Amino acid sequence: MSEFYAGKRVLVTGGVGFIGSNLALRLVELGAEVVLVDSMLPAYGATLRNVEPVRDRVRINFSDVRDRHSMGYLVRNQDLIFSLAGQVSHVDSMTDPMTDLEINCSSQLSLLECCRSGNPGVTVVFASTRQLYGRPRYLPVDEDHPQEPVDVNGINKLAAEMYYTLYHRVHGMKTVSLRLTNTYGPRMDLRSNSKGFAGIFVRRALEGAKIHVYGTGQQKRDFNYVDDVVEALLLAGSTKAVLGKVFNLGHPNPHSLLEFVETLRGLIDFEYETVPFPAEAKAIDIGDYYGAYDRFREATGWEPAVDLAEGLERTLAYYRRSGAPAS
Amino acid sequence: MSEFYAGKRVLVTGGVGFIGSNLALRLVELGAEVVLVDSMLPAYGATLRNVEPVRDRVRINFSDVRDRHSMGYLVRNQDLIFSLAGQVSHVDSMTDPMTDLEINCSSQLSLLECCRSGNPGVTVVFASTRQLYGRPRYLPVDEDHPQEPVDVNGINKLAAEMYYTLYHRVHGMKTVSLRLTNTYGPRMDLRSNSKGFAGIFVRRALEGAKIHVYGTGQQKRDFNYVDDVVEALLLAGSTKAVLGKVFNLGHPNPHSLLEFVETLRGLIDFEYETVPFPAEAKAIDIGDYYGAYDRFREATGWEPAVDLAEGLERTLAYYRRSGAPAS
């Protein structure tokens, strides 16, 4: 794979955000010519500190994926596009659904249209989400599980993913979607209170503040360390056999939220307690979730290399070194 | 049901179009206070001739469902909304996908948001489509059939339907979706060449022109006469047990396209031949489709009353009387 990306022209939307910036660092390492697109929306977690190590080796273009004109220009002459820009808060998608629709749904169709007219041969890797399954009917959830999203975010991401698959089938475009699950690691947004518990827990642990676990804490999740997700994205972009398809990511060892907290407590001192779900979170809660990623492993050889304890240790080390952002 | 609608304030989006205008006529008959919203987009089939019989008994408001501000005002103080405005051409959704998204997806979420803030107690009946199933895996297709749309139109209608269901579940709004299948009858758009074969065939028959049937003509469909669909919409709007759910419509006697043509030939003289599918139609063709509507029958007692021969006879009579629009 290292040879594949050397000299490739690669566009990353959401390139200054959590996963995008980690991907950018790796792409530079692999010798790609990297353009990062980011709108730097204040609430979305992008900070230039994320890409500090490669600032002089990437081109950063401040633009919004909702802007069809700049995107139409930017997609030209690229070999690959990683479509990572997204509104990721489930709760925010319920309070401000139109923004979620614009970013997660309309902009994706618009990006595909830009490519269809301006660069139909480009490979596009779309960061989808396990949120589109809704409450699991069985575990682990495989790609054939019914799609019954429980929030606006899940509906919009599902529609977007369907566009990507459709544009492969009807227009012959080189698209692939990965359904990401809980991703954590260096450069994750610690400031937001609406983007999932991992960032909140790490921030509060670093602050020495008490952590509140919603519900019983027994709900299970599969946690992917961001380096493993970056590896998956790179494999998706360089493997012909995956085109036109959708794949789960996942981890062989799912953990409950309490196990997550206890693992974190093995590394840093803090207190925690379980509290009842707030109504707005309860209404869209999905219960236990972990996914089967056999198909992606079989297609690409991908396997998560980092377990939760190691991943959290690296995450804490990053923020201790770089300084945790103010909440 | 006749008592239910007497004095009710009812808004119909797409109210001057094919199904909307037929619904409007019936609502007036039932004593409802009717507001019709229509953008009169030239290609979409609305013509004031459709509502001529009730022009002085309805309020017609020219507006576009994409206009959040006028819609926000219009939904207030309504008892029921029939959300029928839509872009219905499958082929057009592939050539101009962003317009399809705006009308069929964004505008539906926006309408729900208008209701959530301005009229949360209103009942909203959404006209969904069997197109969201894609190519049937089994027949008849029931509501649990996988949703694998084969065109942008199917994806956008699926997302919209999911918003309606979600707003019931999370926000307690009174929504229901009916998945319409091939609907035909008086006031259908005969001018368009991209909205399905029924209108094209009827127009060409009236003109004495040769009819071209794509493929073998053996592909099956279930045909609903528009009066039966209007009855279904009215039942959906007046039955508490259907709220929050989605239902197929359908017909007990599916017919092949050739049977449709032969039935039409029993009523009017014309020639026809089978021709190969054009590429753009073939790419999104779904093969045979007919749906199971047991759930809606059980919930409401609905049963199609008009068979194909009678429905086509009434349709021809309407256009002979009113004059077929120029193609």
The chain-wide mean pLDDT, for chain B, equals 95
Among the residue ranges A48-52, A194-198, B20-24, B233-237, the one predicted with the least confidence is A194-198
The chain-wide mean pLDDT, for chain A, equals 95
Q: How far, in Å, CA of A200 to CA of A214, rounded?
A: 12
Angle at B246 between CA B244 and CA B248, to 5 degrees: 155
Q: How far, in Å, CA of A302 to CA of A57, rounded?
A: 28
A97–chain B Cβ distance below 8 A for any pair: yes
State the DSSP code for A209: P
Cβ-proximal residues to A151 (8 Å cutoff; 6+ apart), any chain: A90, A93, A94, A131, A284, B166, B170
B28–chain A Cβ distance below 8 A for any pair: no
Superfamily of domain A2-322: NAD(P)-binding Rossmann-like Domain (3.40.50.720)
What is the enclosing helix (H) or strand (E) of B92? helix B90-95
B94–chain A Cβ distance below 8 A for any pair: yes
Cα–Cα distances in Å, from B246 out to B70, B125, B200? 28, 10, 29
The answer to whether residue A199 scores a pLDDT higher than 90 is yes
The tens digit of pLDDT for each residue in A153-181 reads: 999 999 999 999 999 999 999 999 999 99
User: Span A40-53, mean pLDDT?
Assistant: 89
Q: Out of A109, A146, A147, whose CB is closest to B97?
A: A109
User: Span A60-66, mean pLDDT?
Assistant: 95
pLDDT of residue B176: 98
- In 3D space, the residue among B5, B263, B268 whose CA is nearest the CA of residue B123 turns out to be B5
The tens digit of pLDDT for each residue in B107-125 reads: 999 999 999 999 999 999 9
Percent of chain A with pLDDT over 90: 91
pLDDT of residue A91: 92
Boundaries of every domain in chain A: 2-322
pLDDT of residue B50: 95
Cross-chain residue pair A166–B152, CB shorter than 8 Å: yes
State the DSSP code for A130: G
Three-class secondary structure of residue B95 per DSSP: helix
User: Span A198-216, mean pLDDT?
Assistant: 94
The model's confidence at residue A325, banded by pLDDT at 50, 70 and 90, is: low
pLDDT of residue A195: 81
Helices A197-207 and A308-322: crossing angle, nearest 10°?
Answer: 60
**Min Cα separation B174/chain A (Å):** 17
* pLDDT: which is higher, B279 or B29: B29
Cα–Cα distances in Å, from A161 out to A107, A129, A167, B304? 12, 9, 10, 36
pLDDT of residue B282: 86
pLDDT of residue B192: 85
User: Span A21-44, mean pLDDT?
Assistant: 95
The answer to whether residue A44 scores a pLDDT higher than 90 is no
Q: What amino acid is encoded at A45 in this protein? A: G
Cross-chain residue pair A97–B109, CB shorter than 8 Å: yes
Cross-chain residue pair B151–A166, CB shorter than 8 Å: yes
pLDDT of residue B323: 76
Q: Are B51 and B322 in contact (CB under 8 A)?
A: no
Q: Out of A94, A101, A159, whose CB is closest to B155?
A: A159
- The secondary structure of B13-74 as a DSSP string is ETTTSHHHHHHHHHHHHTT-EEEEEE---GGG---GGGGGGGTTTEEEEE--TT-HHHHHHH
Percent of chain A with pLDDT over 70: 99
Query: Which residue, chain included where needed, has tokens 């409950």?
Result: A256
Residues 166-185 of A with CB under 8 A from B: 166, 169-170
Three-class secondary structure of residue B200 per DSSP: helix
Task: Compute the half-sphere exposure of residue A46: CA atoms within 13 Å on the CB side of its CA.
Answer: 26
B190–chain A Cβ distance below 8 A for any pair: no
B158–chain A Cβ distance below 8 A for any pair: yes
Cross-chain residue pair A170–B94, CB shorter than 8 Å: yes
The answer to whether residue B104 scores a pLDDT higher than 80 is yes
Among the residue ranges A11-15, B3-7, B214-218, the one predicted with the least confidence is B214-218
Among the residue ranges A120-129, A271-280, B219-228, the one predicted with the least confidence is A271-280
Provide the 10 A C-beta neighbour count for residue A5. 22
The model's confidence at residue B194, banded by pLDDT at 50, 70 and 90, is: confident
pLDDT of residue A35: 98
User: Whole-model pTM?
Assistant: 0.95
**Min Cα separation B143/chain A (Å):** 12
The tens digit of pLDDT for each residue in A105-155 reads: 999 999 999 999 999 999 999 999 999 999 999 999 999 999 999 999 999
Residue B140: cis peptide before it, omega within 30 degrees of 0: yes
The model's confidence at residue B324, banded by pLDDT at 50, 70 and 90, is: low
Closest-CA residue of chain B to A160 = B155
Cross-chain residue pair B162–A149, CB shorter than 8 Å: yes
